[in-house]
Chain A
Amino acid sequence: MTTLTLQHPSTLVEPGAITRWNPSVKLITLFVVSVSMLFIWEPIRPALLWAALVIIALTIGNVPARWLAFAHIPFIAFGFGLFLVNVLARAEDGVVIGAALAGRTLVIGVASILFLTSTAPVDLMRSLNQNLKLPASITFAVLAGYQLLLGLPKEWQTIRAAQVMRHGGAKLNRKGKPKLTIKDAGRLVFTVLIVALRRSERIATSLESRGFGLKPRTVYRPIRVHAGDVVVGLVVCLFAVAYCLPWI
């Protein structure tokens, strides 16, 4: 049985200029860009923006072309569904609106890919804590939770193995692999949930016993917001709003 693993996109990409952009500013910018996209109801502008973003991803973003193409599959699936349903459910303007929605999905998708590939989760959480003043208890709990999540696939396999043992060997499916019935799957998910809950209490206890929550907190290698970060953020935001708003 191979071990299931989760890998964050930021580990797959060579760090570049976008990686050095402050994570909090980057997140806010991404948010503004995504919201302003909601005001576009025709397909041409999203298509242009999508092309521009793909070029940025391939050049400055260092995103490998093959990986970018694979990452597009869910966006295309989602966008295609939106397009089709609008064509069918709207008598007059279905094609235009459907295409606009599909284009919007692609733009937000590629922008999100740019964000994910350039931002390591730990850096983002540290930046949210230090720059946006989110409580440390939340950001560190998220990171602890993420570590817990990375261990869950292994937990899943252990519990599954125990389950199969207890049944005296699983029934085999047509391919000769152990068959996972819906009842078993339900039990498996529930047990994993309980394991996570039990571990969360342990995490809280160990955080508290190490003096977590005491003030003042000092930080190792603080993440700073430079003037350049903010200027780039503002320029991108203003561009996005100017690009999307005037033609409502």
Chain B
Amino acid sequence: MTTTAQQHSTYRNPYDSPFRWQLKDLVLVVVLGVVFGFVYWALVQAWNGLAIAMGPAGDLAQHFLFGGWLLVAPLAVAITRKAGSGILAEIIAAAMEFVFLGSPAGPMLLIAAFLQGLGSELPFAIGRYKKFGITRYAISGFLGAFLVFWWSAIRSGWFGQEIFLLRLGIQGVSGILLGGILAWVLVKAIQKTGVVDNYAIGRAQ
């Protein structure tokens, strides 16, 4: 493997640039967004039932699962390695939830999605879409959860509640575990199947 890599080292694929989107990158990000939009929506439906059962504890417990809502951004970024792919994937997922499936949060979801995508993508952007270590995923998950936390806090009036810091802590940890580490595991598993070999992630091997 190493010898072939050296032979090709003079040739650089122009589509390796994070700013050169191919149509298939775009379609992949959109399809990821659509599929995860549906998964999120299904989660919310299950969640609503649980929230009724748990009563006021349900509102706090939502932070435990929060990281799950961040999953799609690191997947999109890691596979296509394009600037803006994480934000786009989250926004598509939110639009899917809202426009096609119907969500009680309404269009406010789009703003939350933008912040989640921005937070999740930032660490990868700083690594110029070339570094994909597990720590970076963890930071990505944390930032995604952290950025959107303030928006949710404004929207739901969490300021002044006695459990404010508890909320922030749980959400941050959930972001690291579900939105970061789990994404890393998933990307590895997807890469192994070979379906994404024709994308930037496959070329980088």
Contacts and interface: CB of A to CB of B under 8 A. Distances in A.
A129 B204 CA distance: 34
B169 interface: no
Contacts, number: 163
Contact of B161 (A86, A194, A213): A86
Interface in A35-94: 35, 38, 41, 71, 73-75, 77-78, 80-82, 84-91
Interface residues of A, number: 67
Interface string A136-148: 0110011011101
A13 interface: no
Contacts of A190: 189
Contact of B59 (A27, A81, A192): A81
Nearest to B44: A74
A196 B48 contact: no
A179 interface: no
Interface string B88-100: 1000100110111
B104 A74 contact: yes
B195 A34 contact: no
B196 A197 contact: yes
B100 to A, nearest CB: 6
Interface stretch (B2-10, B113-121, B124-132, B149-157): B149-157
Contact of A205 (B24, B26, B52): B24
Would you call the interface of chain B mostly helix, strand, loop, or mixed? helix
B100 A112 contact: no
Interface stretch (B12-20, B31-39, B139-147): B31-39
A163 interface: no
B34 A30 contact: no
A81 B58 contact: yes
A111 interface: yes
18 contacts: A31-B110, A34-B107, A38-B155, A73-B48, A74-B45, A77-B49, A78-B104, A82-B59, A84-B55, A89-B162, A121-B100, A141-B27, A141-B30, A149-B96, A194-B195, A196-B35, A197-B28, A213-B23
